Structure formats: C-alpha cells, structure tokens
C-alpha cells in the first residue's frame, strides 16, 4: 500500500517548494546538531572563535549536513526522524557525558516524538536545539572562575593572618623520588626551598591511597573509617564532591571565611555544613593554551576534536578499545589560578584559601621555566599509559624527566606566591599548608591488587609517596623524616591550628600502629602493612 501525506496526495507529488523548504530545514537541523557540542565546548573554554581550526569544523559540518539532508529526505519521514534522533542522542552524549540510562531515555523519547510529530519533528528538534545553543551561550558569558561566588563582601575576616592551603596534585615527598641525578637535584631543591621559607617539611610522608578522591576525603575528615567510606565510594565518585569536610569546619569554627580554587575534576565547594564558600572553578583541559602554543592548524584541529569526543566517557572508551583515540595531553593546570588566588589573599588577608593545583600532575607539558611545550610524543606526558598495566623503564625514565621538569615549575610558582606575600608583609603571619595527595603515578606497575606480586618498592613510592609541609606564623624551618600518613599529618596540623580544644575525630587518628596502604580493586578491603620507604616493615625487594 502506497504511503500518503496528510492531504491524501501520494508522496511523490509534493511540490518543489515544499521539498526545498524541507531541505533547508533539515540542513539547518543537522548543522545545529553537529555544531551544538562544538560551540558548547569552545564557549566553555573561552576558546578563540575566529580561528582557522573552527572554520574548518564549520565547513565540514555544513557539508555533512547538506549531503545527509539530500540523502535522507528521499526516504520516508519516519526514517528521517530516526536518523535525526540518532544525531540528537550522540550530540547530547558528547555535550552532557550521558551514560546508558540517559542515552536510552533520550533515544526513546526522540523515537516517540518522531512518531507523533511526523513531518513537524524536524522543526521541533531544530527549535529545541537553537534554544539550547542560546542557553549555553548565555551560560558561557559568565566567567567560570567566578561562577559560584557566594561570599558576601561585608563578611568579616578572622582577624588573624591568612590560612593558605595548597593541594599540589601528584607532588612526591623528597625521599620518594628516584635515585637518578635529575631527581636528586629536584630533591635538593625541594629541601632548600621549604627550608628557606621556614616550613616544617615531612620528607617521608605518604598516602594510604593512590587516588585523589580516596586520599583527600580521608585526610580532610581525619578518618581511617575506610570500610564505611569505601562503601560510599560509588556515591562519592558520582559527583566527585566533598560533602563532609571536617578540616573546612575547623577553619570555619575559627572564624575563617573560605575561598576555594578548584578545577572541574573534584568539587570542594559544596560542603554540607558550610553555606558560604567563595568558589572559583577553572575548566579542564586548558584548551586556550593549545590555540596559543601550537602553530600547526591541523594539530589544533585534532586536539579540539579529541577533546570534544573525550567529553563523553562512553565514546572515549569505545574509541580507545578500537585503538582509534589516544589521549592527547592538554594542560589541566590553568595558569589563571595562582594570580587569582594571590590577588584574593591581598584583598582579604584574614580569610582561608584552599586551592587544588593540578601540577605537577600529568600531562607534563610545563617546562622547568613554566613555558608550555606541546612538542614531542604525547604519550610520554602522561604519568601512566592508560590501559597498559605495565610499562617499560625506558618510557618511565622519559616520563620522570618531564615530571621533574614540571615539578621545578611547580616550585617556581609557589616561590612567586610566597615572595609576593613577603613583599606585602603577609607571609610572616600566614599559616601555609602545602601537600600532595599521592605519588607521581609514573609507576611501571599500577597499584592494583592484580599486580600484587609484581609491585616493587619503586612502584609503591611512585604511587603513595607524597609531600607534606606546613609553615606556622613566625615558624622556624624543620626537617622531619618520620614515615607518617597524610591522614595523621592533617589531623596533627589541624589539632595544632585549632589549639587543644579539638574534637575526638582529630585525636583519634593522630596515631597509627604502622605504615599501611590500600591497593585498588581490593575485595574485601584490607590494610597491607608495608613501609614504602624501606626499613624493618619493608617486605619487598627494592630495585
């Protein structure tokens, strides 16, 4: 039986005018669907709009839209609607990192609407996506660095010196570094740097955990209640948020308004018990540097497209398994962060400032002098090669070279901050806490239970060794070589900061029987007693 349109005429005699109107509409729709996640991305990252790589994307999207429209308009409207729904689903998957449930809902709703609206479906979807584009354009007009500011200008300060707390992601303890000459130069630099500025430096600190989220949720809550926390790990991972933050409560109770400077990777801003946190969020990756530092348009285009696709975890996984997509290491440390932090300390010197700096964390694109270098093989910029459990020592050496260069840059950035505070007479009265969350992660074997028999002392140091340093107001420098966990060090620091009148939670964790770590993938969870720095508890071979 021949299909008819609404007026009862056979489909083949639709007027040429209707046909060209449908072609224009369909073309506009596919163009909008293709360009929607691209524009969402470039606006979000404030990427320069007038760049040749974006011009190429626009030309490609327009060409694809035209041919696709011409092709599918010759079919029946329900087939057209099916193809449109498929594009809608893929576009939203990339823009909002949708998983299977979300994708199923979008796809099913699209099919139902396509069936109900028939020929009007294209106009409907076009209107929805134009509205969404407007929405994301308006949203991107807000500077991400000040998006969630809630601190009132009249809010009182503590009346004391600033508390400056910097989490330098992946910063190793000096005694955890490899023994090669370059590493030992870095070790000496770390020691003399913290000595020069009057810090108490813990040279053998470590974390029980090899990931940021596990490490910091425990350290900030002075807790070793891992069974409970690991059970909640799924919920934690979902929003990567610190709903409980005992350390921020200590600061808040001491009368300190809190400013947070963070990336989009982990959320420290939304603490259940504190309603006023000045929140600064910096987008990752730092795409603007790609436009600034890479001359080749083809490479810039490739980076943009890879970044676009990697917004969807599902798509990334599929392409990586098919060996089509390899991670391209775009800087995830945003160079605007420290200048913003410094300016805020100068304007409100009685407040507390916490910042999560994604340096010396991979990708290692910063040189010793903090220039960006995107040349060379991108694989060596990552701490570990994704998907490969074991790597060879040659590639590890190359990654450590880059890690060490980037660590010199990290120290240089800290030095600039401290020197500014000295010039402004703020340094002496400041309490400054600097630490990492795990090691360099440049290990040969990842700290996974499946690698239990393969892990060397080097692997354990690469995974768990971490920096911890505190400068008290008017404090003198001190080098402490005890093997202590971040949990204990944070608890002791908080107890000293708040005075004797501190909660049971802080006191409970200030002693741990002996060093232990957790490996990932453990079921059931158990503490592995090992001193990663060697000594009597050392049950493993060193290299």
Nearer to Zn ion, 348 or 435 (CB): 435
Q: How far is the CB of 219 from Zn ion (least distance, A)?
A: 12
Nearer to Zn ion, 81 or 212 (CB): 212
Nearer to Zn ion, 89 or 440 (CB): 440
Assign residue 135 a region: left if phi > 0, alpha if psi is -120 to 50, beta otherwise?
alpha
For residue 135, cis peptide bond before it (omega within 30 degrees of 0): no
Q: How far is the CB of 372 from Zn ion (least distance, A)?
A: 21
Nearer to Zn ion, 266 or 405 (CB): 266
Phi and psi dihedrals of 45, rounded to 5?
Answer: -95, 10
Residues 6+ apart with CB under 8 A from 185: 404
Q: How far is CA 154 from the centre of its chain?
A: 32
Residues 6+ apart with CB under 8 A from 501: none
Q: How far is the CB of 283 from Zn ion (least distance, A)?
A: 18
Q: How far is the CB of 211 from Zn ion (least distance, A)?
A: 7
Nearer to Zn ion, 203 or 263 (CB): 263
Instruction: Using the structure block, give the residue that is written with the tokens 């060397």.
Output: 456
Nearer to Zn ion, 169 or 226 (CB): 169
Contacts of 282-285 spanning 24+ positions with Cβ under 8 A: 282/144, 282/145, 282/334, 282/336, 282/337, 283/44, 283/45, 283/144, 283/334, 284/332, 284/334, 284/358, 285/45, 285/330, 285/331, 285/332
Name the residue among 325, 336, 207, 211 with its Cα closest to residue 262: 336
How many CB atoms within 10 Å of residue 30? Answer: 24
Nearer to Zn ion, 214 or 444 (CB): 214
Q: How far is the CB of 376 from Zn ion (least distance, A)?
A: 24
Nearer to Zn ion, 351 or 437 (CB): 437
Name the residue among 4, 20, 23 with its Cα closest to residue 12: 4
Name the residue among 421, 434, 431 with its Cα closest to residue 496: 431
Contacts to Zn ion by CB under 5 A: 169, 212, 437
* Alpha-carbon gap, residue 389 to 400, rounded angstroms: 17
* Alpha-carbon gap, residue 336 to 278, rounded angstroms: 16
Q: How far is the CB of 324 from Zn ion (least distance, A)?
A: 28
Q: How far is the CB of 80 from Zn ion (least distance, A)?
A: 47
For residue 370, cis peptide bond before it (omega within 30 degrees of 0): no
Q: How far is the CB of 469 from Zn ion (least distance, A)?
A: 17
Q: How far is the CB of 335 from Zn ion (least distance, A)?
A: 19
Dihedral over Cα of 354, 383, 266, 375: its sign: positive
For helices 486-498 and 212-220, angle between their N-to-C axes, nearest 10 degrees: 30
Give Cα separations from 142 to 45, 129, 137, 268 (angstroms). 11, 21, 9, 20
Name the residue among 251, 248, 244, 212 with its Cα closest to residue 228: 244
Q: How far is the CB of 170 from Zn ion (least distance, A)?
A: 5
Q: Cβ distance 517 to 208 under 8 Å?
A: yes
> Among all residues, whose Cβ is closest to Zn ion?
212
Q: How far is the CB of 279 from Zn ion (least distance, A)?
A: 20
For residue 325, cis peptide bond before it (omega within 30 degrees of 0): no
Nearer to Zn ion, 88 or 241 (CB): 241
Nearer to Zn ion, 211 or 420 (CB): 211
Instruction: Using the structure block, give the residue that is written with the tokens 């010039």.
Output: 423
Nearer to Zn ion, 53 or 437 (CB): 437
């Amino acid at each position: 039986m021949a299909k008819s349109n609404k007026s009862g005429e056979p489909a083949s005699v639709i007027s040429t005018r209707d046909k060209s109107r449908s072609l224009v509409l369909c073309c506009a729709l596919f163009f909008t669907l293709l360009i929607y996640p691209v524009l969402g991305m470039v606006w979000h990252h404030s990427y320069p709009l007038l760049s040749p790589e974006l011009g190429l994307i626009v030309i490609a999207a327009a060409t694809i839209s035209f041919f696709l429209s011409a092709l599918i308009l010759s079919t029946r409207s329900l087939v057209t609607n099916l193809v449109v729904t498929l594009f809608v689903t893929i576009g939203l998957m990339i823009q909002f990192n949708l998983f299977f449930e979300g994708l199923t809902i979008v796809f099913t709703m699209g099919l139902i609407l396509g069936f109900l609206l028939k020929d009007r479906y294209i106009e409907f979807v076009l209107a929805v996506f134009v509205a969404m584009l407007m929405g994301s354009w308006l949203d991107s007009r807000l500077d991400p660095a000040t998006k969630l500011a809630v601190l009132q200008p009249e809010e009182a300060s503590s009346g004391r010196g600033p508390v400056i707390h910097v989490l330098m992601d992946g910063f190793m303890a000096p005694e955890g570094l490899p023994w090669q000459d370059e590493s030992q130069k870095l070790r000496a630099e770390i020691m003399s740097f913290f000595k020069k500025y009057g810090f108490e430096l813990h040279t053998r600190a470590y974390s029980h955990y090899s990931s940021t989220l596990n490490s910091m949720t425990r350290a900030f809550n002075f807790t070793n209640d891992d069974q409970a926390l690991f059970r909640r790990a799924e919920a934690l991972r979902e929003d990567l948020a610190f709903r409980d933050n005992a350390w921020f409560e200590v600061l808040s109770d001491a009368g300190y308004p809190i400013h947070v400077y963070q990336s989009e990777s982990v959320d420290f801003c939304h603490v259940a018990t504190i309603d006023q946190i000045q929140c600064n969020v910096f987008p990752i990756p730092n795409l603007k540097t790609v436009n600034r530092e890479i001359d080749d348009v083809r490479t810039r285009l490739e980076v943009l497209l890879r970044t676009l696709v990697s917004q969807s975890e599902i798509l990334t996984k599929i392409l990586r398994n098919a060996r089509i997509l390899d991670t391209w290491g775009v800087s995830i440390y945003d160079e605007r962060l420290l200048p913003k932090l410094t300016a805020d300390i100068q304007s409100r010197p009685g407040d507390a400032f916490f910042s999560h700096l994604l340096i010396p964390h991979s990708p290692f694109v910063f040189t010793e002098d903090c220039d960006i270098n995107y040349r060379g093989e991108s694989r060596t910029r990552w701490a570990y090669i994704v998907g490969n459990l074991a790597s060879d020592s040659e590639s590890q050496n190359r990654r450590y070279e880059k890690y060490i260069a980037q660590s010199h840059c990290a120290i240089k950035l800290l030095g600039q901050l401290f020197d500014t505070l000295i010039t402004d007479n703020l340094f002496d009265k400041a309490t400054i806490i600097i630490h990492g969350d795990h090691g360099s992660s440049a290990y040969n074997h990842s700290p996974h239970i499946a690698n239990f028999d393969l892990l060397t002392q080097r692997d354990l140091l690469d995974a768990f060794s971490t920096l911890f340093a505190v400068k008290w107001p008017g404090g003198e420098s001190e080098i402490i070589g005890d093997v202590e966990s971040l949990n204990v060090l944070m608890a002791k620091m908080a107890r000293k900061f708040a005075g004797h009148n501190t909660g049971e939670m802080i006191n409970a964790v200030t002693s741990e029987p002996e060093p232990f770590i957790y490996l990932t993938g453990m079921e059931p969870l158990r503490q592995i007693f090992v001193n990663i720095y060697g000594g009597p508890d050392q049950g493993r071979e060193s290299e």
